[in-house]
Amino acid sequence: MPTVALRFSPLAEHVRTARLVAVSVARRAGFGEDQLDEIRIAIGEACARAVAPAPTASGGLGLSPAPAEVGLVDMRLCDDDDRLDVTVVQCDEHGDPLEEPAGSLAATDPLSMALMAGTADSSTQTAAAGGMVLSWSRQAGGS
């Protein structure tokens, strides 16, 4: 099972790079051109949740801490038998999942989850060390 791992600072400008890597892996896995836009949307949503500023106690968005204080975002893409599985999780600066859930991932965003679920054969959101693990998979032959 070929795997691509990408770790990046939790900055919005890195989400585009994550989408480009995901589309490249999807092409290699045999996904059609008509499916690539949906993959871009799903990966963009998953990564954007990991880099968004955490909500403040008053409910508004706080200022994003410096990347060194937040750690890293870890994205893993596995393609096997025309299937693409993607997992996105927040980590500390050493690549270990954060012990406490990060605010931006712990808060459920129904629109974001609907976008990911609507473009994939299966989409899961799981609480874990580091906040949430978002796994997205789709058969290459799916619609």
Please write the tens of the pLDDT for every residue from 52-66: 765 544 444 444 444
What's the pLDDT score for residue 5?
94
Residue 9's pLDDT is 92
For residue 75, what pLDDT is reported?
A: 92
What CATH number has the domain bearing residue 9?
3.30.565.10
Q: Greatest CA span in the chain, whole angstroms?
A: 47
Q: Which domain holds residue 14?
A: 3-139
At which residue do the structure tokens 């299966």 appear? 122
Which comes out higher in pLDDT, residue 130 or 60?
Answer: 130
Q: How many domains does the chain have?
A: 1
Q: Could you tell me which residue, 28 or 100, shows the higher pLDDT? A: 28
